[in-house]
Amino acid sequence: MSTKRKMRSRQMKQKGAPHPRPFALSHVDQHGKARMVDVGDKDVVRRMATARGFIRLSKETVSLVRENGLKKGDVLAVAQIAGIQAAKLTPQIVPLCHPLELTQIAVTPTLMTDGVEVTATVRCVARTGVEMEALTAVAGALLSVYDMCKKIDQRMVIERIVLTEKTKESLW
């Protein structure tokens, strides 16, 4: 870990503490209209976000994924690439998200006994965070698993897509 101190976002630091503007939404103007937040005055810092999600599969589907027995191919490899691609396309999927130059996208799908867990970590050096990119990477990877398995398993459930960590670190 760098000697520079990692800092958590204000919301994660103050768990349970009331927000100074409890009903103010950053992406809504004073007239209630959607707007893109101006981040021009914010410092450029190293940012990282990690998200996780899960898709519940039948035991038969888990076995087929493990044995690489699906006609569409290697489910976990495709999920990894789909997650990376989804992170890169986040500003086109989430309308008010700033386009960022991402420096790293790591997507790890893991086969469990009852489904697939996906973890994604995204990094950049920017004025705004990469939480949406990490969450979108997980969602994209899980949707690709769903797409590849839908013919054999109509009871799949995508669940628990959550942000698990977010950091920012000064460059100086």
Q: Which CATH number covers residue 87?
A: 3.30.70.640
Q: How many domains does the chain have?
A: 1
Tens digits of residue pLDDT in 141-165: 999 999 999 999 999 999 999 999 9
The set of catalytic residues is: 147
**So what's the pLDDT on residue 38?**
76
Global pTM exceeds 0.85: no
Nearest-angstrom CA–CA distance, 94 and 114: 30
Tens digits of residue pLDDT in 23-54: 566 777 777 777 777 787 888 999 999 999 99
**So what's the pLDDT on residue 11?**
40
In a domain, 81, yes or no: yes
> For every residue of 97-144, which 3-state class applies, written as one string?
CCCCCEEEEEEEEEEECCEEEEEEEEEEEECCCCHHHHHHHHHHHHHH
Range(s) of the domain holding residue 112: 51-169
Position 21, amino acid: R
Tens digits of residue pLDDT in 86-141: 999 999 999 888 999 999 999 999 999 999 999 999 999 999 889 999 999 999 99
**So what's the pLDDT on residue 39?**
83
In a domain, 14, yes or no: no
